[in-house]
């Protein structure tokens, strides 16, 4: 059997984890290698419990000293990918899919990964387009699967004005590269076969960056639930991006919510995939310890959304800007005082 490994790093994603795992298991992922760093919402405990139950392989990535010296100074996400290079479960996979917890792959033509790869004649790399999903008018967090809560998306011909509307994520053979990367493999062999989900060769296009001028949404939708509801988006604003170092990290502002919130077309998840995913999630939650840990984590996450929204809305400039670039002044102290310190106290 082909081994498909999903490689990801998470932070404060506890309400989404089980349904996200179930969704990707339904389309053919056979192994989950999941890292986390600095979570305060119960993500760490939930991942450890899923690991103990044999559902995933979990590695805590909070302490840089746990990585090899050459990876210790990297941002958390890139540090995790560096550590994965030495992980035999990842190295021995036939293919790896490197995505985040707000991304859900759907394959409308094939239904699952083995069928897609047979159709494409088993290339080395398949790069699939992000499909930006909107808030669907929802203004509050709810513990239901995001694939049910948010069913509105950007139109296929709407590539927006922002990079997230134009980028890809990739499924690839781990042996072709010396560096796992968040959008596409880097340091890869020149002779790789690299296609889009329709089978068109795109190696030369991808050599110029992780964007495509035209996207074959008919064969693949990598649904990117980037904003969700506004309180959930505030959690993303506060925690920042794990792929950029602190000295170069930009800070999102609340005004970017609208440009990244397309609700042009209806895009419900196909019923067979939704049904299969729900069955898998129900099976995972039949473990009473997993269900209990998730329940407590969701309560903690709700507290986190309230603190993050209050911190963003009360700041001098965050409510009025789209982003702050290459910060000369850090907001870490502000967020420590208004969010993180309060998450460490009892509810």
> Which residues, other chains included, contact 173 with Cβ-Cβ below 8 Å and sequence gap of 6+?
94, 95, 96, 124, 125
Range(s) of the domain holding residue 207: 4-230+263-288
Residue 252 resides in a domain: no
How many domains, in total, are found in the chain? 1
Task: Check pLDDT > 80 for residue 177.
Answer: yes
Mean pLDDT, the chain, integer:
90
For residue range 323-340, what is the model confidence (pLDDT) as tens digits? 876 665 678 889 999 999
pLDDT in tens, 79-95: 999 999 889 999 999 99
CB atoms within 10 A of CB 75: 19
Helix (H) or strand (E) holding 177: strand 177-179
Q: With respect to residue 314, please indicate whether it lies within any of the assigned structural domains.
A: no
Say how far apart CA 12 and CA 150 lie, in whole Å: 20
Tell me if 128 is assigned to some domain.
yes
Which percentage of the chain shows pLDDT scores above 70? 92
Query: Which CATH number characterizes residue 139's domain?
Result: 3.90.550
Ramachandran angles phi, psi of 78, nearest 5°: -70, -30
| Mean pLDDT within 61-66 | 90
Q: Is the dihedral of CA 203, 21, 297, 84 positive or negative?
A: negative
Examine residue 173 and state whether it is found in any structural domain, yes or no.
yes
| 340: in domain | no
Say if 177 falls within a structural domain: yes
pLDDT at 287 over 90: yes
Q: Whole-angstrom distance between the N-terminal and C-terminal Cα of the chain?
A: 46
- Alpha-carbon torsion (155, 158, 162, 164), positive or negative: positive
> What does DSSP assign to residue 157?
T
Distance of CA 211 to CAs 131, 158, 196, 205, Å? 13, 14, 12, 8
Q: What's residue 181's pLDDT?
A: 81
Q: Which percentage of the chain shows pLDDT scores above 90?
A: 68
Residue 238 lies in a domain: no
Cα 169 from Cα 216, distance rounded (Å)? 13
Cβ-in-10-Å burial (0-12, 13-18, 19+) of 60 comes to middle
Judge whether 153 and 267 are in contact, CB under 8 Å: yes
Q: For residues 187 and 178, is the Cβ–Cβ distance under 8 A?
A: yes
Q: Lowest-confidence range among 89-98, 104-113, 246-255?
A: 246-255
Segment holding 284, helix H or strand E: helix 271-285
Taking the C-alpha atoms of 29, 30, 36 and 39 in order, what is their torsion angle to the nearest 10 degrees?
Answer: 70
Tell me whether residue 100 is in a domain. Answer: yes
Q: Contact, 263 vs 136, CB < 8 A?
A: yes
């Amino acid at each position: 059997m082909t081994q498909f490994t999903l490689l990801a790093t998470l932070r404060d994603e506890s309400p989404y984890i089980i349904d996200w795992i179930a969704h990707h298991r339904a389309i053919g992922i056979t192994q989950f290698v999941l890292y986390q760093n600095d979570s305060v919402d119960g993500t760490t405990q939930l991942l450890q419990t899923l690991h103990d139950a044999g559902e995933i392989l979990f590695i805590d990535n909070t302490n840089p000293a746990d990585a090899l010296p050459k990876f210790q100074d990297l941002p958390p996400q890139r540090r995790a990918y560096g550590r994965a290079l030495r992980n035999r479960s990842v190295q021995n996979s036939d293919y790896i899919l490197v995505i985040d917890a707000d991304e859900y792959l759907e394959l409308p033509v094939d239904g699952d990964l083995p069928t897609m790869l047979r159709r494409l004649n088993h290339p080395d790399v398949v790069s699939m387009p992000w499909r930006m999903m909107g808030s669907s008018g929802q203004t509050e967090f709810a513990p239901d699967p995001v694939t049910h809560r948010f069913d509105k998306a950007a139109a296929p011909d709407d590539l927006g004005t922002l990079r997230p509307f134009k980028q890809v994520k990739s499924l690839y053979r781990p042996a072709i590269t010396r560096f796992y990367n968040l959008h596409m493999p880097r340091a890869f062999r020149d002779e790789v076969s690299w296609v889009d989900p329709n089978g068109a060769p795109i190696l030369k296009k991808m050599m110029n960056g992780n964007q495509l001028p035209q996207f074959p949404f008919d064969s693949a939708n990598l649904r990117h639930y980037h904003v969700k509801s506004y309180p959930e988006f505030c959690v993303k604003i506060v925690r920042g991006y794990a792929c950029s170092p602190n000295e170069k990290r930009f800070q999102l502002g609340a005004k970017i919510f609208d440009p990244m919130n397309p609700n042009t077309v209806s895009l419900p998840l196909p019923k067979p995939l939704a049904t299969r995913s729900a069955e898998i999630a129900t099976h995972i939650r039949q473990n009473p310890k997993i269900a209990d840990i998730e329940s407590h984590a969701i309560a903690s996450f709700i507290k986190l959304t309230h603190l993050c929204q209050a911190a963003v809305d009360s700041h001098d400039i965050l409510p009025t800007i789209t982003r702050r670039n290459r910060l000369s002044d850090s907001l870490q102290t502000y967020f420590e005082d208004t969010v993180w310190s309060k998450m460490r106290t009892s509810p």
